[in-house]
A and B are shown apart, each in its own frame.
Chain A
Amino acid sequence: MAEIFYWDAVRRAHDEEMANDPLVFAMGEDIGLPGGTYKATQGLFDKYGEERVMDTPISENSYTGIGVGASMIGARPIVEIMSVNFALLATDQIINAAAKIRYMSGGQVGCPVVVRSPGGVAHQLGAQHSGRLEKLFAGTSGLRVVTPAFPVDAYGMLKTAVRCDDPVVILEHEAIYNLKGEVPDEEYFAPLEGARVVREGTDVTLIGYLMSTHWNLAAADKLAEQGISAEVIDLRSLKPIDADTLRTSLAKTHKAVICTEDEAPVGMSAEIMAVLNEQCFFELDAPPVRVTAEDVPIPYNHTLEKAALPDADKIATATQKLLGH
């Protein structure tokens, strides 16, 4: 098992899947000759050529749609959208087309397209480059939505997504491409459903995904110093959300703190709260608490940006309050 960067895990999955099937191809802005904004396709242009590692013009809606169309007849496109903020331009093809074609054709044809895109808040990029749009995709019937927080999932989920017959949206994060983590040397396919307990604990369950999983892990360290044992659950998949893993954890801890990087109103935390209410209610000793981004466009100023986001301290404070410390 080697420690590799997150970006390299994504690159390796591309490479293996393209080697495995000649109908797998990647497309996106600057992913070919320039090697990819986050290096996720580095070296593949030379290896597979411009027909399979395609540099697209800046036409998010239509190149995404080209991926969707190609997937309808058996090609396996991996569409990279440089930033999830730009994916808004492609929502017609993702939400109106890819997500609905299987259903409205009565099951005649599916769209096994993969759309990967980094989002989230990273180092003062300002309001238009700090989108957290997971609610949009996770709220759309007919899509699978996954959020790999670690290199092993970035690798394994992309490989599975390429083989999966459903459209899969993979939300990555601008701030974790340089995170290192262990990835098996042998080929590995991660499921596109199911949460994972990434730290065991007994007093409280911290629930998050993508960046908030990392914040939750840091918060768990702080809480441990105060004698509080926190279990951390990385949801990994936002559609569907794995209620079973949540319930199992809550049967032990009876208390939940939800942390998300998006705003509270109609955000992922609201959905997670609903899942807890509907499916884990009898395990709970207290109403779950959520720690979310503030309800503001993300400011440029560093101090304001930090104030707008959750972090380990805010999670720890909320947890202490919930536990009556």
Chain B
Amino acid sequence: MEAADRKRLLQEMVFARRFEERTAEAYHHRDIGGFLHLYPGQEACAFGVLEQARMGHDYVITGYRDHVHALKCGADPKEVMAELYGKETGSSRGRGGSMHIFDVKNHFMGGYALVGEPYPLAAGLAKGIKMKGTDQIAICFLGDGANNQGTFHETLNMAQLWELPVLFVCENNLYAIGTSLERSTPAHDQYLRAQSYKMEADQVDGQDIDTVMEAAEKAVDFVRSGKGPYFLELMTYRLRGHSMSDSGRGYRSEDEIKQWMERDPIYLFRDRLVEEGVLTADEFEQMDKDAQQHVDDEVIPFAENSPEPDVGDLHKYVLSDDDSCAMGQIAGGGK
């Protein structure tokens, strides 16, 4: 990877971190409602995998911790923030909220609140791709907790049976809200569960973006070449609580949190780039300042100043605008 690209990638990660931290502030000010699940600590997962995929070409789908995946797919940060603010200019027109960011023009097919629900949807995107015969792939990001849902087993079984072009990325952050992996399943290694369906699977460190990119390249190539699905488990950690109503303490020791903080994916990558002579400490400072400024000067004002949806549009988007087809008026039909 070119030095310039490595710097660009770090810049993207820093921006995502600042974006997420700023949403927490907005949440405390009650500018953002509902649940808010933040991503700090896990950035190398989304950025490392998606860096190896083709954004706007491949399809991406995930759970409720979805802002950063949407951003990496190409969603306009202003629109994502406006969505969190519930504004008409939001990516989902203010109808979705934090857990339901969609940016279909960039093939980001949504965030979903039901744990495990996106598994079949992802396989369905892959089925659609297969029917169209394109070289696209579907990529599904979910947590370790989702693997205790029936959809994990049902979908992996069918995806492998039908050799669907789908990459399942398990962001194993060791906790499902406050219940640790060890306390929710005897099968700690998630990639082994996938292998029981004869699926190609791997497990790597999810904090080191170079490691993630290397594993993801292999996985993406495998799926794109038509060999069937792939399951990639990334060992990671969320540095914050599960959502804004969870301190993230209580069920995790301070020691453990501290250890993972030392493996913050952004600082690991920064230090690597400094070591490689690609980046100076000053440049990083500047990068960080630019990210913060971008959020403060452009993203937040856009969200704040955007209009609310019109109450008169409450029923818009329930069904398709054009009901002529449902009324049986079909072009070329009834001939």
Q: Which residue numbers of A lie inside 8 Å of B, CB to CB? A: 22-23, 25, 51-52, 54, 56-57, 59, 61-75, 77, 92-93, 96-97, 101-110, 141-142, 144, 156, 159-160, 163-166, 186-194
The chain B residue sitting closest to A105, CB to CB, is B102
**Closest CB of chain A to B169's CB: distance in Å?**
16
Given known pairs A25-B131, A65-B117, A142-B318, the reply for A71 and B328 (CB within 8 Å) is: no
- Which B residues, 120 to 158, have Cβ-Cβ distances below 8 Å to chain A? 120-132, 138, 150-151, 154-155, 157-158
**Closest CB of chain A to B297's CB: distance in Å?**
26
The reply to whether the CB of B334 lies closer than 8 angstroms to some CB of chain A is yes
Q: Is the CB of A75 within 8 A of B127?
A: yes
The reply to whether the CB of B326 lies closer than 8 angstroms to some CB of chain A is yes
Q: Is the CB of A64 within 8 A of B335?
A: no
Q: Is the CB of B123 within 8 A of A62?
A: yes
**Bound complex: CA A142 to CA B316 (Å):** 11
Q: Is the CB of B325 within 8 A of A165?
A: yes
**Closest CB of chain A to B135's CB: distance in Å?**
14
Q: Is the CB of B120 within 8 A of A144?
A: no
Q: Is the CB of A51 within 8 A of B131?
A: yes
**Bound complex: CA A192 to CA B327 (Å):** 6
Contacts of A164 in B (CB 8 A): 320, 325-326
Q: Is the CB of A106 within 8 A of B90?
A: yes
Q: Is the CB of A106 within 8 A of B157?
A: no
**Closest CB of chain A to B185's CB: distance in Å?**
19
Q: Is the CB of B151 within 8 A of A62?
A: yes
Contacts of A103 in B (CB 8 A): 95, 317-318
Contacts of A110 in B (CB 8 A): 320
**Bound complex: CA A114 to CA B121 (Å):** 15
The reply to whether the CB of B94 lies closer than 8 angstroms to some CB of chain A is yes
Q: Is the CB of B320 within 8 A of A106?
A: no
Q: Is the CB of B92 within 8 A of A57?
A: no
Most buried by B among A57, A63, A77, A103: A103
Given known pairs A62-B151, A160-B325, A163-B330, the reply for A107 and B316 (CB within 8 Å) is: yes
Q: Is the CB of A57 within 8 A of B154?
A: yes
Q: Which residue numbers of B lie inside 8 Å of A, CB to CB? A: 59, 61, 90-97, 100, 102-105, 109-110, 112-114, 117, 119-132, 138, 150-151, 154-155, 157-158, 161-162, 316-323, 325-330, 333-335
**Closest CB of chain A to B258's CB: distance in Å?**
38
**Closest CB of chain B to A17's CB: distance in Å?**
11
Given known pairs A187-B334, A192-B326, the reply for A57 and B117 (CB within 8 Å) is: no
**Bound complex: CA A67 to CA B110 (Å):** 16
Q: List 9 A-B contacts (CB under 8 A).
A: A51-B131, A59-B157, A73-B125, A73-B128, A92-B114, A103-B318, A104-B110, A165-B325, A165-B326
Could you say which of B96, B125, B157, B158 contacts A72, with CB atoms under 8 Å apart? B125
Q: Is the CB of A22 within 8 A of B154?
A: no
Given known pairs A102-B320, A103-B317, A144-B326, the reply for A96 and B95 (CB within 8 Å) is: no
Contacts of A66 in B (CB 8 A): 120-121, 123-124, 127, 155, 158
A109-B110, A190-B328 known; 9 new pairs, CB 8 Å cut-off, are A66-B121, A66-B127, A69-B120, A105-B92, A107-B93, A108-B102, A108-B103, A160-B328, A165-B322
Q: Is the CB of B104 within 8 A of A105?
A: yes
Q: Is the CB of A191 within 8 A of B326?
A: yes
The chain B residue sitting closest to A160, CB to CB, is B328
Q: Is the CB of B117 within 8 A of A93?
A: yes
Contacts of B124 in A (CB 8 A): 65-72, 77
**Bound complex: CA A70 to CA B165 (Å):** 12
Could you say which of A52, A69, A144 contacts B123, with CB atoms under 8 Å apart? A69
**Closest CB of chain A to B144's CB: distance in Å?**
19
Q: Is the CB of A104 within 8 A of B102?
A: yes
**Bound complex: CA A212 to CA B4 (Å):** 70
**Bound complex: CA A96 to CA B94 (Å):** 18
**Closest CB of chain A to B44's CB: distance in Å?**
27
**Bound complex: CA A105 to CA B97 (Å):** 9
**Closest CB of chain B to A176's CB: distance in Å?**
22
The chain A residue sitting closest to B112, CB to CB, is A97
Q: Is the CB of B120 within 8 A of A102?
A: no
Given known pairs A23-B132, A192-B328, the reply for A93 and B120 (CB within 8 Å) is: yes
**Closest CB of chain B to A16's CB: distance in Å?**
10
**Bound complex: CA A169 to CA B123 (Å):** 21
Contacts of B319 in A (CB 8 A): 102, 142, 144, 165-166
Most buried by B among A23, A57, A92, A194: A92
Contacts of A194 in B (CB 8 A): 327
**Closest CB of chain B to A138's CB: distance in Å?**
14
Could you say which of B100, B123, B130, B325 contacts A163, with CB atoms under 8 Å apart? B325
The chain A residue sitting closest to B121, CB to CB, is A69
**Bound complex: CA A56 to CA B154 (Å):** 10
Could you say which of B100, B130, B317, B327 contacts A193, with CB atoms under 8 Å apart? B327
Could you say which of A72, A73, A106 contacts B95, with CB atoms under 8 Å apart? A106
The chain B residue sitting closest to A143, CB to CB, is B319
Q: Is the CB of B327 within 8 A of A64?
A: no
Closest 8 CB pairs of A and B: A69-B124, A65-B120, A106-B93, A62-B154, A59-B154, A105-B102, A69-B121, A165-B320
Contacts of A92 in B (CB 8 A): 114, 117
Contacts of B94 in A (CB 8 A): 106
Contacts of B155 in A (CB 8 A): 59, 62, 65-66
**Bound complex: CA A27 to CA B79 (Å):** 37
